[in-house]
Amino acid sequence: MSPAIRNDPATGRKLFATRAAKASGKISGKGYSIIADKALTTLPPPPPGAAFNAEEQRRYREYKEARVGAADYMAMEGDFARYLEDVYSASPVPREPLEDECEILVIGAGFGALLLWYRLMQAGFTDVRFCEKGGDVGGTWYWNRYPGIACDVESYSYLPLLEEMGHIPSMKFASGFEILEYCQKMAERFGFYDRSLFHTTVEETAWDEATGRWIVRTDRGDAMRARFVVLANGILTTPRLARIKGMKTFRGDAFHTSRWNYNIDLIDKRVGIIGTGATAVQVVPEIAKVVGALYVFQRTPSSIDVRDQRETTPAEYASWPHEPNWAVNRRERHALISAGRSALQANDDFLSGKIVDWKERKKHDRKLTPKEMIEVQLSTNFRIMEQIRSRVDAIVKDPKTAAALKPYYPYGCKRPTFHDEYLPTFNLAHVHLIDCAPSGVKKINERGVVHDGVEYPLDVLIYATGFEWMGTGTFNMIRGRDGRTLREKWEAEGTRTFLGMHSRGFPNLFIMNGPQGGGGQFNFTRVSEMHANYVVWALDMMRTKNVRSIDVTREAEDEYTRHCAEMDLLSAPLRDCISYYNGEGKAQPGSLAYYGGGERWHQRRIAAQEKMAPYIIDNKLGVEPHAEHR
């Protein structure tokens, strides 16, 4: 056996040492700065009398219609496959292929997998193996290491297992580099590395009815068997490029933000960045500090809300460790706000700029119908957007640039962003906003980007063009009972799941954070926790009942899928724009994230767990129960 694989003398199981070394010492950085200028960290009040009237609604509609059909993305294949290379780690650790069996095989080694491992350990499941494409843990935080990266959900509520780790993040919005280190510490502390196969991409996962096992094949030649497979590989994992004429001809350096190439020096260079989503909003202020000239190619402006970054205070460092479950409780308060209720009594400073509006919104003298509720929300939403637009005028000096930076769509229908340095960056003489609305950049040549007949020569071109949403490549290669892949099933029948966790015909497969499972929550860590707890409940129930396989009924899947569509349609006016959230305007209602569901997910989960009606549990496969549970 290679040194990467050894046998645990206590259990006889294989343990691994496949964590790759760091590729280069240059890969480091920080997230948001703390801004001294208080004017930049507060939203201006909404203009007096601001109302979402017919005129404003028409304006939103025109804005949306102008954007229809503009999105054109492509996978990083052929000449562009090099943009996918792992620039962060040294070569994969050599090891021989594995053809053995484990009880639970998890795809992914990010937050979801780390949380799941912790919960599985607690429940006594230890025969667990993780397959991860990257060279180390972290998932999103492994791949995304661009300058300025930080979490957009306050880190005290976002980082998992803070109490268990005895850790308090250093900033309210911790940098991505701090989060990655935290993931590594969790992995070290909880023995996660011993169970992980890094630089191992799962290529096929096929259900074998005869043995009641999944056969998992990887790009390292493995053909492992597992009773259970858990997909914990994220929802925004496959980077995409805008398809732009001539992009192959560009002679300068180019890369995608999720593979930031720190070997390319940006100092004093002419740099272009395509895209102005949540990533670019963090990148732009940071690289503007070093480049010679920066051209930001914008198709649709993001809403740039207040950040108000701060350090963790000495009082918090001192008191939180003595508050039982301080982070779990804080996360729950945060979830109340994301579910539309307040965490104000807890005196937390969430969503600083919007609390005043929230209070106004709550003053109703009778219970509103869902339609009335949406109307009230749209009005509140409009006032928040007016504040966001006023903020642009208050900060950005050039009126033409300010006009282009103002978004006209409901708050939240595109991923809201938060930054106190982004807008002021456009007052710098060497930073240029190139407004490419509504069609986006259409032409690149060997020297740079061409827009409206003007050529912008560049040394470096950065694609901040995002990721496939809810469309991980993994779905292409999970083959269920009837030989179809999950993707083929969903293409033929529409996305169909129960709780977003199961899809009928794929027994003993659990999907974490997938379509219809999460979303509609600011904080995906909370969704990961819900899902990890659910997986552990299911495995524990099966262990207790000595069950060999679990699937769901057609009725349960139909009902849940209908519910997702209804919730999506009901809340759709709040997301009435074109964005990746709604598949660029093309997705079937309820087929992507689980919008507007909130507590209803829990109601369905609890009913299912109590009555067991949605499940098909099978004791009759021609296989023995797993040795550990005989």
Q: List residues near ligand NDP by CB under 6 A.
A: 71, 150-152, 236, 242, 244, 274-280, 282, 297, 299-300, 415, 436, 440-441, 464-467, 580
Closer of 436 and 527 to ligand NDP (Cβ): 436
At its nearest, how many Å lie between ligand NDP and the CB of residue 187? 21
At its nearest, how many Å lie between ligand NDP and the CB of residue 153? 6
At its nearest, how many Å lie between ligand NDP and the CB of residue 546? 41
Closer of 580 and 595 to ligand NDP (Cβ): 580
Structure tokens at 247: 């992009």
- State how far the Cα of 182 lies from the Cα of 142, in Å rounded to an integer: 11
Closer of 64 and 220 to ligand NDP (Cβ): 64
Query: What would the 3-class secondary structure string for 1-70 be?
Result: CCCCEEECCCCCCEEECCCCCECCCCCCCCCCCCCCCHHHHCCCCCCCCCCCCHHHHHHHHHHHHHHCCC
Closer of 158 and 475 to ligand NDP (Cβ): 158
Element (H, E) at 304: strand 304-305
Closer of 213 and 307 to ligand NDP (Cβ): 307
Calculate the CA 413 to chain-centre distance.
16
Burial degree of 128 (CB within 10 A; 0-12, 13-18, 19+): buried
At its nearest, how many Å lie between ligand NDP and the CB of residue 444? 10
394-398 contact pairs (CB < 8 A, 24+): 394/39, 394/44, 395/40, 395/423, 395/424, 395/427, 396/423, 396/424, 396/426, 396/427, 397/427, 398/426, 398/427
- State how far the Cα of 282 lies from the Cα of 160, in Å rounded to an integer: 23
Structure tokens at 226: 């597992």
> Position 166: which residue type?
G
Closer of 93 and 304 to ligand NDP (Cβ): 304
Q: Which of helix, strand or coil describes residue 94?
A: coil
Q: At what angle do helices 326-338 and 524-545 cross, to 10 degrees?
A: 110
Closer of 275 and 424 to ligand NDP (Cβ): 275
- Side-chain half-sphere of 231: how many Cα atoms within 13 Å? 31
At its nearest, how many Å lie between ligand NDP and the CB of residue 586? 13
At its nearest, how many Å lie between ligand NDP and the CB of residue 277? 2
Structure tokens at 485: 């892949």
Closer of 111 and 228 to ligand NDP (Cβ): 111
Structure tokens at 232: 């914990």
At its nearest, how many Å lie between ligand NDP and the CB of residue 106? 22
Q: Which of helix, strand or coil describes residue 239?
A: strand
At its nearest, how many Å lie between ligand NDP and the CB of residue 111? 12
- State how far the Cα of 157 lies from the Cα of 160, in Å rounded to an integer: 8
* Strand pairing report for 549-552 and 615-618: antiparallel
At its nearest, how many Å lie between ligand NDP and the CB of residue 48? 30
* Strand pairing report for 101-107 and 223-231: parallel
- State how far the Cα of 180 lies from the Cα of 235, in Å rounded to an integer: 18
Closer of 16 and 426 to ligand NDP (Cβ): 426
At its nearest, how many Å lie between ligand NDP and the CB of residue 438? 8
Closer of 447 and 543 to ligand NDP (Cβ): 447
* Strand pairing report for 417-418 and 431-435: unpaired
At its nearest, how many Å lie between ligand NDP and the CB of residue 322? 29
At its nearest, how many Å lie between ligand NDP and the CB of residue 330? 18
544: CB partners within 8 A, 6+ apart: none
- State how far the Cα of 511 lies from the Cα of 493, in Å rounded to an integer: 18
Q: Which of helix, strand or coil describes residue 286?
A: helix
Closer of 63 and 358 to ligand NDP (Cβ): 63
Closer of 116 and 274 to ligand NDP (Cβ): 274
**C-alpha to C-alpha distances, 32 to 265, 337, 409, 418, nearest whole angstrom:** 21, 23, 26, 10
Query: What would the 3-class secondary structure string for 149-181 be?
Result: CECCCCHHHHCCCHHHHCCCCCECCCEHHHHHH
Closer of 80 and 537 to ligand NDP (Cβ): 80
Closer of 138 and 275 to ligand NDP (Cβ): 275
At its nearest, how many Å lie between ligand NDP and the CB of residue 388? 15
At its nearest, how many Å lie between ligand NDP and the CB of residue 419? 10
Closer of 226 and 280 to ligand NDP (Cβ): 280
At its nearest, how many Å lie between ligand NDP and the CB of residue 242? 3
Task: Dump the DSSP string for 342-377.
Answer: --GGGT--TTGGGHHHHHHHT--SSPPPHHHHHHHH
Rg of the chain, C-alpha, whole Å: 25
* Strand pairing report for 5-7 and 14-16: antiparallel
